[in-house]
Structure 1
Amino acid sequence: MSLAGAAADRWRGFRNRLLASPRFQKFAIEFPPFRPIARRRSRALFDLLAGFTYSQVLYATVKLGLIDMLQGPALTGPALAARVGWPAGRLERLLKAAVSLEILELTSTGAYTLGQHGAALAGNPWIAKFIAHHHLLYDDLADPLALLSGDRKDNKLKEFWNYSATPHAASYTALMAASQQAVAAEILAAYDFGRHRQLIDVGGSNGTFLAAARSRYPQLRLSLFDLPAVAEIARVNLGNDVEIHPGSFLTDELPKGADVATLIRVAHDHDDDSVLKILSAIKHMLPPGGVLIVAEPLSGIAATAPIADAYFGTYFAAMGQGRTRTAAELGRLAAAAGFTSTTAIRTRNPVVCSMLKIM
């Protein structure tokens, strides 16, 4: 252990003993210079306690269509209640909660309009689509200990994301496509695909990323590989100028020809053995000097840790497979697959997408 690491560990021990001391807690709230810090920490701790109710308020607001209703003129509580079909008093509880979370806002006349978060949702409708499907996750989280320990087997999210279940192909593909435009924009802003001649999107879903890449790089040859049911959806969306290859990247050989491949929000859905199979298939498919771009939430980044490790970590537990990984963990899997280098690519918004260049 380094001296810096040992010093940091000693500091953590001292800090934790101090924060756990009732005497220090009393001092911190009574001593004026410390009081703002004590209040801030109390609020942060309570937010951890109350976070589940916050998410339910957000879910209810989206499901009732309040974001859509309030994109126009502000509406009074009774007017919103009439549209929703709820008693005004019942809806008022939700409206007050949504205002407190800055999803909605009160105007000077006492009517309701969009708050900061509500306006952001209105401009990013794909987020609302993800929120709307969270009832599956909430059901799975009814007993979080059973979910996280693996004792719960009949998870709703696991059933929904079962890629081998053809009846779900259209549903999960539409949900993935809802957010793919934002992810595609980050990828195309961070990496220049113009230096390549052919791109293959492995696990390319309905082709949303390739459609965006085609607009940016019309000279680039494009191909997509995904399960047959999903590939058919991509074929309809992309037309005949994109090569569509149906198959499973876990069992089938990938088509050769591309000198750059993308793997977008795929690796974190699978266990290490499966990721190694996918990376090995891509390495075998790429020519010498070929490039693989991996885009997904990465663990180990302080700015996005609650998203990658708390949200996605729990989400994948409900899915029954997959996990977020650090860049180093993905690099080790890539090395085992035969790649020689893994480099992080800076993106404009790592909350939406983090990226790695693997060669």
Structure 2
Amino acid sequence: MTAGAAAANALLVNLTTRFIVSTAFFTVARLGVADALRDAPRSPADLAATVGADPRALARCLGALAAHGLFRELDDGRFALNEPARLLCRDVPGSYLPYALQVAGFFDSAAAFERAVRDGGTPFAHHYGTPIFEHLAQHPALGAHFDGAMQALHGIETAAMLEACDLAGATTFADIGGGNGDVLAATLARYPAMRGVLFERPAVLERTRERLAEHPAAARIDYVAGDFFAAVPVRADCYYLRHVLHDWDDAACRTILGHLAAGAPRGARVLLGEALLEPPNQAGIGRDMDLVMLQFTGGWQRSAADFATLLEDAGLDFVGVTPTASMISVVEARKR
């Protein structure tokens, strides 16, 4: 076998079996293995007795995950936390566990992936009977959990955005579709003279209002309930949309941006926090997130050029792209 043939075979094996690694990851997250390892390394038998698992099966899951960089297998067979695994603990800063459990809970919808590719739509909607955001609205407990999952997934991006972007010239910062308010709260903490606006659906807004009631910047936050497909009645000199447009197709994005532009003053900055789609044949988080959008929302990731076109169509002048230390870049435009 030539080196090229061997590499091709290895790639196919990897793609064929990758879902099993994800399944092992979800299982370990559900079992609470990371929390069971918080204090010290433990043997598979000891660990299995604590979390309720078969020792050998658990050891094999952890061994595979350790080979991928999650957890650490010691020479004596015990397992320990490493930095990525520590983020699977509950109640640690930046915990990833809520997002892992959210995706694990919807994993069975992946069975409808082929149907969605053949017939259109999303695997999620084919499996559950409704699009994801309708499903979350119909199940408030799931919606609240989704908010926590988004915080877990995207929390690190807030600090990265604030480090990369100078917002000192803004007097009012509007977070459009701002979810649990973490971005807005962090931004107002960084800029004490700034006011903030959180624009969200009513159910989400009420949860966020309660959550931020005791925040030091609470008196500087205005809450506006609405639907950005109907109107964005918010006036600010800086607007931020993080991971909003990737949930929607181009027509929907033009509607959202058009409504935002209609209410924005001339010269207002519009910032889009998005994982940009990589060029053809280049691996990266953008390509992976694109499949996540196919699975759940029906939207897609876009390149900087794609965003420039959408922005220009909405009456916004594309300014440029600022990379950050996280997976997102900040696409900037200004109202004409």
> Could you state the TM-score of these two structures normalised by the residue count of structure 1?
0.81
Q: 1:59 — aligned with what?
A: 26
1:337-356 equivalences in 2 (<5 Å): 337-349=314-326, 351=327, 353-356=328-331
Secondary structure of 1:141's match? helix
RMSD between aligned residues: 2.6
Displacement after TM superposition at 1:45 (Å): 3.8
- The residue identity in structure 2 corresponding to 1:56 is T
Give the match's secondary structure for 1:355: strand
- Compared CA separation, residues 116 and 199, structure 1 to 2 (3 A): closer
2:60 & 2:283 partners in 1: Cα distance? 32
In 1, the alpha carbon distance for the partners of 2:181 and 2:61 equals 38
Partner deviation per Cα, 1:185-218 (whole Å, 9 max, x = no partner)? 1110110111111111111111110111111111
Shift of residue 64, structure 1, vs aligned partner: 1.0
Alignment correspondent of 1:161: 133
Please give the residue correspondences for 1:36-185 in structure 2 after superposition, counting only pairs within 5 Å. Answer: 42-115=9-82, 117-119=84-86, 121=88, 125-149=94-118, 150=120, 153-156=125-128, 159-162=131-134, 164-165=137-138, 167=140, 168-185=142-159
Contact (CA 8 Å) 1:299, 1:305: kept in 2 or not? Answer: no
In the aligned structure 1, how far is the partner of 2:51 from the partner of 2:22? 20
Look up the equivalent residue of 2:210 and give its one-letter code: V
Give the one of 178, 181, 187 matched to 1:213.
187
Contact 2:131 2:297 (8 Å CA) reproduced: no
1:87-137 CA distances to partner (integer Å, 9 max, x unpaired)?
A: 323333323333333323222333221246424655775422222122344
Could you tell me how far 1:157 is from its partner in structure 2?
Answer: 9.9
| Residues 162 and 187 in structure 2, CA contact (< 8 A), matched pair in contact too | yes
1:234 aligns with 2:208: yes
- Partner residue of 1:265? 243
Aligned mates of 1:348, 1:302 — CA distance in 2? 23
* Per-residue deviation, 1:236: 1.5
Consecutive unaligned residues of structure 2, counting only runs of 5 or more, are none
1:251 correspondence with 2:230: yes
Unpaired runs of 5+ in structure 1? 1-25, 30-36
CA contact (8 A) 1:207 1:234 kept: yes
Structure 2 counterpart of 1:223, one-letter code: V
- Relative to structure 1, the CA distance from residue 301 to residue 222 in structure 2 (aligned partners, 3 Å threshold; closer, same or farther) is farther
User: 1:348: Cα distance to partner?
Assistant: 1.8
Task: Label 1:83 to 1:52 Cα distance change in 2 as closer, same or farther (>3 A).
Answer: same
**What CA distance in whole angstroms lies between the structure 1 residues aligned with 2:36 and 2:187?**
34
- 8 Å contact 1:158–1:319 — kept in the other structure? no
The CA deviation string for residues 135-182 of structure 1, in whole angstroms up to 9 with x for no partner, is 344212224311323275433496543265362432322222223421
In structure 2, give the amino acid aligned to 1:63: R
Deviations 1:326-351 (A, max 9, x none): 111111111111112241112123x2
Task: Tell me by how many angstroms 1:39 deviates.
Answer: 5.8
- Give 4+ residue runs of structure 1 displaced > 6 Å after superposition: none
Per the TM alignment, residue 232 of structure 1 is displaced from its structure 2 partner at its CA by 1.0
Instruction: Return the TM-score normalized by structure 2.
Output: 0.86
Number of residue pairs the alignment of both structures matches: 322
CA 253–346 in structure 1, closer or farther in 2 if over 3 Å, else same: closer
Match of 1:297 in 2: 275
The match for 2:292 is: 315
Structure 2 CA distance for aligned equivalents of residues 82 and 251 of structure 1: 54
> Are the aligned partners of 2:102 and 2:145 in contact in 1 as well (CA < 8 Å)?
no
Task: Identify the structure with the greater helix proportion.
Answer: 1
Q: State the percentage of identical aligned residues.
A: 25
Contact 2:180 2:204 in 1 (8 A): yes
For 2:88 and 2:319, the matched residues in 1 are separated by 34
Q: Deviations over 1:213-234 (max 9, x none)?
A: 1111111111111111111122
**Mapped contact 1:343–1:357 kept (Cα < 8 A):** yes
